Amino acid sequence: MPEILLQAQNLSRHFRLAGPWGRGPVLQAVDGVNFDLPGGETLGLVGESGCGKSTLGRLVLALLTPTRGEVRFLGEDLHRLPKARLKEARKQLQIIFQDPYSSLNPRMTVGQILEEPFIIHGLGTRKDRRDWTAQLLQEVGLSPEQRDRYPHEFSGGQRQRIGIARALALKPRLIVADEPVSALDVSIQAQILNLLAELQGRHGLTYLFISHDLSVISRISTRIAVMYAGRLMELASREIFDTARLHPYTEALLAAVPLPDPDRPFKPPALRGEPPSPLAIPSGCPFHPRCPEAQLPVCREVAPEYRETAPGHWVACHFR
């Protein structure tokens, strides 16, 4: 059993919005999320837009403070670490973003962008840092001669590689990839996914891979978590997910994946309606208004317990 790198326990983040007279309504972005992430694995986090995936990613990196619950990295509660220790821990925790256009500072050259992690942590001499940035560029398939160029001189795929190189600089153990290929062309998507897989093998990285695209998720993940309205609905290894998934929402998501097959008959979408607003999460099971299956009073009234039905397979549903 590999060590548990990351643990989320009852992790919640609510935002209080500003109303016309001061305090407004509460937005539940993430609510009561639990999971363990063993080192070396890739946990794919899938869900519709606005379900709280990115907020969860930022909580895990201590870029946001949780309202309740904790994030344990190698057993330590990240949000209770003193400032200096947190800065040290940040070396181990990095992030890759969706939009390769806003994730790089337009006023810095690629060399400056990649050198910055070392400067922040006071590592190496000027010459060391130059060598290291050259290595980083090579590692992501770019050439060290490109270090003096500005981000706008690169294509979207190349910029995403620069973002990946920056995330790799401090030799992290965990990388949160927040929709890293959603803004790219399909052909470039494959290149970036291959690069991520290759880097994982070479450096023993652990990924929390966030995406709304199930085909991307199932390609790269060893475990898959399904999120809905700020809560986890189901979490399982990919094998279980492919063969023995349980939650009706998971089923509906999979049924909605388009297949590039012109002979396949058109199926109407399995899900009715819209995902709920995080300002008004339905009572009981948050999925009950759209659930194609059980429509029982218990679904409306009682939030289902998130429990382990088989080793490593977690589900939140009254009927499974």
Partner 1 sequence: MKRREFWARLRRNRLAMTGLTLVVGLFAVSLLAPWLAPYDPNFIDLKEVLMPPTSQHLLGTDPLGRDVLSRIIYGSAVSLKVGFVAVGLATLIGLIIGAVAGFYGGWVDQVLMRLVDLMLCFPTFFLILAVIALLEPSIWNIMVVIGLTNWMGVARLVRAEFLSLKEREFVVAARALGASDARLMVRHLLPNALAPVMVSATLGVAGAILTESALSFLGLGVQPPTPSWGNILTAGKDNIEIAWWLSFFPGLAILATVMSYNLLGEGIREAIDPRLKE
In the complex, the residues that contact partner 1 under the rule CB under 8 A are 58, 61, 63, 86-87, 90-91, 93-95, 97-99, 102-108, 116-117, 120-121, 150, 152, 163, 166-167, 169-170
Nearer to partner 1, 106 or 258 (CB): 106
Nearer to partner 1, 148 or 301 (CB): 148
Nearer to partner 1, 74 or 296 (CB): 74
C-beta of 308: minimal distance to partner 1 in Å?
32
CA 94 to chain centre: 11
CA 48 to chain centre: 13
C-beta of 152: minimal distance to partner 1 in Å?
7
Nearer to partner 1, 169 or 271 (CB): 169
C-beta of 101: minimal distance to partner 1 in Å?
9
Nearer to partner 1, 68 or 87 (CB): 87
How far apart (Å, rounded) are the C-alpha atoms in residues 290 and 115? Answer: 49
How far apart (Å, rounded) are the C-alpha atoms in residues 248 and 253? Answer: 9
User: Which residue is listed with tokens 């060893």?
Assistant: 222
Nearer to partner 1, 7 or 160 (CB): 160
C-beta of 90: minimal distance to partner 1 in Å?
4
C-beta of 78: minimal distance to partner 1 in Å?
12
Residue 137: CB atoms within 10 Å: 21
Nearer to partner 1, 199 or 253 (CB): 199
Start-to-end Cα distance in the chain: 27
C-beta of 115: minimal distance to partner 1 in Å?
11
C-beta of 175: minimal distance to partner 1 in Å?
10
User: Which residue is listed with tokens 């500072």?
Assistant: 105
Nearer to partner 1, 72 or 121 (CB): 121
C-beta of 106: minimal distance to partner 1 in Å?
7
